[in-house]
Structure 1
Amino acid sequence: MDKTISIYGKKLFEYSSPKGMIELINVLTKHLINFQIFTKPENIFITNGSQQALYILGVMPFPSSKLKILVEQPTYSVMLNILENAKIPVIGIKRTNDGIDLNTSILTQGELEVYLKSSMYKFHVRRTKEFYRNKMGILRKLCNKNLNDKITWYIPDTGLYAYMEVKEVSSHNLENNLLNSKILVSSTNNSYIEGFKHTEGIRLCVCNASEEEIIRAVNVINMQ
């Protein structure tokens, strides 16, 4: 942060370009090559969060001139709200554990630019993946050992969220029951297009949960 301020201090109080900080865009152009994404600086736009980017993508015309958007089910509920408010027609495609996986201010943009150019980025990515891999490993081991056959779980190797499919209870009722036990989960019902046939499920986040809290959550879920 201090290095960013020393480099871009004068720009902090200026209006930035609508498409984002040019220094960051130039660094991103080179950085994306590592992921086999080849583009030009003029094709990159920096947005202040994912929702702004999703809105732009949702309302922009497609090169094919087609109008409907294919949306995996379940999906990010905010994306469904954006498409619904824009009156854009959608078609749902079911996603399962074996199915498809289509895996800022001047100060924050400047900080990211400095970050990408240093070795900190790769180090942080490795450390973060390992941190969440350990948490998901704990959750997977507990689910495999303790959960009954009324619950089917899908836990990625690393990440923030896991999914549990419930067979004999409403996910909203389960969400409320767990809330009474001070366990916060979210039903995945709002992640589907209205009328799309789906199973009941809940989403769990292990981001801020300790190992003891994960153990307690799995035990409480198993008793529902």
Structure 2
Amino acid sequence: MDTKYDGIVKDIKNQLLNGYLQAGSKLPSVRQMSEKFSCSKNTVIKAYDELEKEHLIFSIPKSGYYVVNEFQRLDSKRTTIDFLSAGPDKNIMPYIDFQHCINQAIDTYKEELFTYSDQQGFYSLRIQLVKYLQSLQVFTEPERLFIVSGSQQALNLLVSMPFSNGKKNILIEQPTYFGFIESANLHSITTFGIDLSMDGIDFDRLEYIFRNNDIKFFYIVPRFQNPLGHSYTNKEKKKIVELAEKYDVYIVEDDFLGELDPNTKSDPLFSYNPSGRVIYIKSFSKIFLPGLRIATIVLPPKMSSHFSRYKFTADFNSSVLSQGALEIYLKNGMFQSHIKKIKELYFGKMKHLQEACEFFLPNNTLYTKPASGFYLTIYLPEHVAAKQIVQLLKEQHIFVDDASRMFLPEYKKENLIRLSISQVEDNQIHTGVEKLAHCITLINSKRSATSQYKIQLL
């Protein structure tokens, strides 16, 4: 049974939801609310304090309580099925826990917040990150870590800066993360591709490219790759590192979803050559809070000064508040608890997605089968264009991604659809895949009817 305190909180929230209270609106006084709900003034103050903690209202001494911002209506969101968005599930993001860490960071780092900090990143945060990375089999020291404003910044800097091997070109998996392709294009870097499937890559081809194409580094996503969801075996990772060492090629390892790996014996490429051949990047955008804009990169010591110069020209140092809050979040154990939750969540969602694909997709439609992660790719029949499917589903408020932007021009395929499970509701997965399958069948039927009509004309 709701108390009068609960009734006040619900009343204010309903007014916000229905648009009766706008940003800046003044709430009824404590006396007015106590009369309306026939309760003590202390009950009203307690309810208002709760709403203030949730950042829905704020108080001005000797003036009253006011609305911070109106609620956004969620009606349209409820009618959509989102296989497109690739940020973390909003229902499991640790807003309240991290809010405590931000508040504590403000108290702890009052002076640092308003001055320039260590360009390499808070040393105390780097210590915590070294401890955390050990759980991912990345053993290093704080002096080799740089804090960057998201992994995209790290990748962009690595694309543009010279490497000690004196080479100029880059190798990438095909397909791969489109943000990296954009960076390479903007810097006019010659970029080679190597075909990737769920069976992996052709190692003879990899060795040929390493030997003959002046490769500065090989950009690789070893676990739950975007967009395929592919993961390399430990044996394959070791072989890649050996070839890179043999031909003086650096490896840039983007391990952005490594925490989701259900295989506890799976290692990063970094573990096979921790001395400096592998440059390791760990982002917190997908597994934690994208708006935090914090990632870390582990560099070989001889690259630190060059990277530092390029980082300086980008932003001098990354957000001090974000660094301080993340340090506290790592130190107090909240992060490990959060990782445990998301690991179970995304594993379950991926399992449901594959079950739906198995049940609904036509027999001639193949799809990848990652063990976990965010992404699964559907290979449409050759005559079915991804853009057609995207448009048909969009008309039904179902959003999927055309993976053609994830290819270099000479590798481009127009029949790949990427599905992301990170923000789709679990109970919408089967419905979304069923409608996707219906679109494929519809296009197939139209093609068959057209072909039959041409045959009759002949």
TM-score > 0.5, shorter chain as reference: yes
Q: Distance in 2 between matches of 1:96 and 1:149?
A: 19
- 2:182 corresponds to: 81
| Contact kept in structure 2, 1:165 and 1:199, CA below 8 Å | no
| Contact kept in structure 2, 1:68 and 1:89, CA below 8 Å | yes
Q: Give me the TM-score of the superposition, normalised by structure 2.
A: 0.47
Q: Which moves more between the two structures, 160-169 or 99-108? A: 99-108
Q: Give me the TM-score of the superposition, normalised by structure 1.
A: 0.92
1:9 matched to 2:9: no
2:193 aligns to what SS in structure 1? strand
Q: Deviations over 1:154-201 (max 9, x none)?
A: 142222222111113111121111111111111110100111154620
The one-letter amino acid of 1:172's match is K
- 1:222 corresponds to: 437
- 2:415 corresponds to: 200
| Contact kept in structure 1, 2:404 and 2:412, CA below 8 Å | no
> Highest Rg: 1 or 2?
2
How far is the alpha carbon of 1:41 from its aligned partner?
A: 2.3
How far is the alpha carbon of 1:141 from its aligned partner?
A: 1.0
Q: Which moves more between the two structures, 147-156 or 70-79? A: 147-156
- 2:97 corresponds to: none
- Aligned positions of 1:29-40 closer than 5 A: 29-40=130-141
| Contact kept in structure 2, 1:148 and 1:222, CA below 8 Å | yes
Count, aligned residues: 224
- 2:424 corresponds to: 209
Q: Distance in 1 between matches of 2:191 and 2:106?
A: 44
2:435 aligns to what SS in structure 1? helix
- 2:222 corresponds to: 102
| Contact kept in structure 1, 2:360 and 2:437, CA below 8 Å | yes
| Contact kept in structure 1, 2:171 and 2:191, CA below 8 Å | yes
1:138 aligns to what SS in structure 2? helix
Q: Distance in 2 between matches of 1:130 and 1:39?
A: 28
2:416 aligns to what SS in structure 1? strand
- 1:18 corresponds to: 119
- 2:215 corresponds to: none
Partner residue of 2:353 out of 139, 145, 149: 139
- 2:340 corresponds to: 126
Give the percent of matched residue pairs that are identical in Structure 1 and Structure 2.
33
1:69 aligns to what SS in structure 2? strand
- 2:193 corresponds to: 92
- 1:69 corresponds to: 170
| Contact kept in structure 1, 2:385 and 2:414, CA below 8 Å | no
| Contact kept in structure 1, 2:403 and 2:414, CA below 8 Å | no
Q: Distance in 1 between matches of 2:322 and 2:175?
A: 31
- 2:372 corresponds to: 158
Q: Distance in 1 between matches of 2:433 and 2:372?
A: 18
The one-letter amino acid of 1:152's match is L
1:195 aligns to what SS in structure 2? helix
Q: 1:199/1:170 Cα in 2 relative to 1: closer, same or farther (>3 Å)?
A: closer
| Contact kept in structure 2, 1:130 and 1:158, CA below 8 Å | no
Q: Distance in 1 between matches of 2:114 and 2:151?
A: 24
The one-letter amino acid of 2:436's match is I
Q: Distance in 1 between matches of 2:167 and 2:413?
A: 26
How far is the alpha carbon of 1:148 from its aligned partner?
A: 0.7
Query: What is the Cα-based RMSD across aligned positions, in Å?
Result: 1.8
Partner residue of 1:54 out of 155, 165, 179: 155
Query: Structure 2 stretches of 5 or more lacking a match?
Result: 1-100, 202-220, 224-317, 440-458
Q: Deviations over 1:127-147 (max 9, x none)?
A: 101011111111111111111
Q: Deviations over 1:70-117 (max 9, x none)?
A: 100111111101101111111101111121552241111111111222
Q: Distance in 2 between matches of 1:57 and 1:121?
A: 28
2:394 aligns to what SS in structure 1? helix
1:223 aligns to what SS in structure 2? helix
Q: Deviations over 1:25-51 (max 9, x none)?
A: 122233323333233323211111122
2:363 aligns to what SS in structure 1? coil
Q: 1:11/1:115 Cα in 2 relative to 1: closer, same or farther (>3 Å)?
A: same
Q: Which moves more between the two structures, 5-14 or 185-194? A: 5-14
- 2:29 corresponds to: none
